[in-house]
Amino acid sequence: MDPEQMAQRAPHSPMSGTGWLNGWRLTFAGEDIGWEGSLATVTEDRDDPNARVFVVLYDVTPEDEELLDRWEGSELGIHRKIRARVDTADGPVLAWLYVLDAYEGGLPSARYLGVMADAAEVAGAPADYVQDLRLREARNVGPGPGPIEP
């Protein structure tokens, strides 16, 4: 997650490290609920033994957990919170993560992928992982309608 967004959404929860969700893959879903396209989520991938997703870990306070649950739309059924094993440099840890409760499919916006790639880069993701995010297929979403001309 983008560090600035996380600071706004969970101001009392510092970053505690990074790691990998091994056996999982990054995918996109919920095009009908996204603003510009599909939203990022993860899913287990039993077919690809090399599947993995870079993640950033935060030490989330109970107060911030409530804020994040509301932000992620948990009470609306948009996301569900699950526990998964994250492999870190210090060994495996169990972490909570939000996954979309929606069918996989659709494309994210190019802007959204750029934000994800920038956040991964700031967190220390390997350069090839960041590059793969930047080169992923995306929707080109224009700036919206311009001013109405008389």
pLDDT tens readout for residues 89-104: 999 999 999 898 888 8
Share of residues in the chain with pLDDT > 70 (%): 91
**Annotated active-site residue in 36, 65, 72, 121:** 72
Residue 98 marked in a binding site: no
Q: What is the pLDDT of residues 24-53, one digit of tens each?
A: 999 999 887 766 889 899 999 999 999 999
Amino acid at 102: A
Mean pLDDT in residue range 127-146: 79
Contact yes or no for 117/129 (Cβ under 8 A) = no
Ranges of beta strands (E only) in the chain are 15-22, 24-29, 39-44, 52-58, 79-88, 91-100
The structural domains of the chain, ordered by start, are 3-131 (3.10.490.10)
Interacting residues of 20 by C-beta distance below 8 A, sequence separation 6+: 52, 53, 54, 55, 86, 87
Active site residue 65: no
pTM of the entire predicted model? 0.85
Q: Which of 43, 38, 42 is nearest to 107 (CA)?
A: 38
d(CA 24, CA 6): 23
pLDDT computed for residue 141 by the predictor: 62
